[in-house]
């Protein structure tokens, strides 16, 4: 039985990742800001579970929360860095700077904070697995994806550098890069404008959070000598765009 810490666990990919590992009997630490949703999820699980209601980007309190866990939960085997968000799709020259800062705080600072707390014990025990949920936005630019894509590019490059630092240990690092997934991600991105969020999914079948949860579970269940570096997952009806040219009329 592994101990698995999932950030952003209250909904979407994080919630379904918890449900996937619940089926195979791994004990869980669920971290999110929304305690009511965490408690609701925990009530559905039949494995030992701890709930941490905290902002993952608050580096001052995260260590204290981990230190306060029962002894049997403190040796974390798998960290799923899932917490992340996008805000806005305005071009860079008219974007809201606070939106940029929020994305940096969650997607970069939050991921660094949780990794920094968990990694030393993994190294000491010489075992562990860090799953970083990135995005195809790190690999393929699109208009309006300016800072969001940049934060996910950070996640991808940081993950590769972690692999370099950890060479010679038994600690694995995996990047999961989803395309369009039907979660509340777009509700947040469009700041509650449901019509804009729903329009993203019009006319095709997006990925479901269960699809990414299943992929994460598969990567974790590989034998000790197998490290999955990167998995890029898109809906069948999504593909990278070609490089474009804007011509004068």
Residue 62 lies in a domain: yes
In a domain, 249, yes or no: no
CA dist 247 → 38, 145, 240, 244 (Å)? 51, 22, 21, 10
Segment 29-58, tens digit of pLDDT: 999 999 999 999 999 999 999 999 999 988
User: Residue 242: its pLDDT value, please?
Assistant: 78
What is the reported pLDDT for 112? Answer: 97
The pLDDT, as a whole number, for residue 99 is 97
Q: Considering the domain boundaries, does residue 246 fall inside one?
A: no
Q: Show the domain range for 187.
A: 3-233
| Residue 243 covered by a domain | no
Q: Is the dihedral of CA 2, 176, 127, 118 positive or negative?
A: negative
Quick one: pLDDT at residue 243?
82
Calpha distance 37→129 (Å, rounded): 26
Active-site annotation holds for 148: yes
Given 93, 140, 142, 148, which residue is catalytic?
148
Output the pLDDT for position 114.
96
Residue 187 covered by a domain: yes
- The pLDDT value recorded for residue 57 is 85
Is 245 among the domain residues?
A: no
Entry pTM: 0.95
Q: CATH number, domain at 134?
A: 3.40.50.720
Is 238 a domain residue?
no
In a domain, 221, yes or no: yes
What residues in the chain have per-residue pLDDT under 70?
Answer: none
How far apart are alpha carbons 128 and 79 in whole angstroms?
8
**Tally of domains in the chain:** 1
DSSP annotation string for the chain: --EEEEESTTSHHHHHHHHHHHHTT-EEEEEES-HHHHHHHHHH--S-EEEEES-TT-HHHHHHHHHTS-GGGSS-SEEEE----------GGG--HHHHHHHIIIIIIIHHHHHHHHHHHHHHHT-EEEEEE--GGGTS--TT-HHHHHHHHHHHHHHHHHHHHTBTBSEEEEEEEE--B-STHHHHHTTT-HHHHHHTTTTS-PBPHHHHHHHHHHHHTS-TT----EEEE--TT--PPPP------
């Amino acid at each position: 039985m592994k101990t698995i810490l999932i950030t952003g666990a209250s909904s979407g990919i994080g919630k379904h990742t918890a449900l996937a590992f619940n089926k195979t009997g791994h004990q869980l630490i669920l971290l999110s800001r929304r305690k009511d949703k965490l408690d609701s999820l925990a009530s559905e699980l039949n494995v030992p579970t701890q709930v941490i209601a905290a902002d993952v980007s608050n580096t001052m309190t995260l260590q204290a929360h981990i230190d306060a866990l029962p002894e049997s939960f403190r040796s974390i085997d798998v960290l799923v860095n899932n917490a992340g968000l996008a805000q806005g799709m305005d071009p860079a020259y008219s974007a809201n700077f606070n939106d940029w800062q929020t994305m940096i705080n969650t997607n970069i600072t939050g991921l660094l904070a949780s990794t920094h707390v968990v990694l030393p014990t993994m190294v000491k025990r010489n075992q562990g697995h860090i799953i970083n949920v990135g995005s195809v936005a790190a690999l393929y630019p699109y208009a309006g994806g300016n800072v969001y894509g940049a934060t996910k590019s950070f996640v991808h490059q940081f993950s590769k550098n972690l692999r370099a630092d950890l060479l010679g240990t038994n600690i694995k690092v995996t990047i999961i890069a989803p395309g369009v997934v039907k979660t509340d991600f777009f509700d947040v991105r469009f700041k509650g404008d449901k019509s804009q969020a729903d329009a993203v999914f019009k006319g095709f079948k997006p990925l479901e959070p269960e699809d990414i949860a299943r992929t994460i579970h598969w990567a974790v269940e590989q034998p000790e000598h197998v490290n999955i570096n990167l998995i890029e997952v898109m809906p069948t009806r999504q593909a990278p765009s070609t490089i474009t040219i804007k011509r004068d009329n």
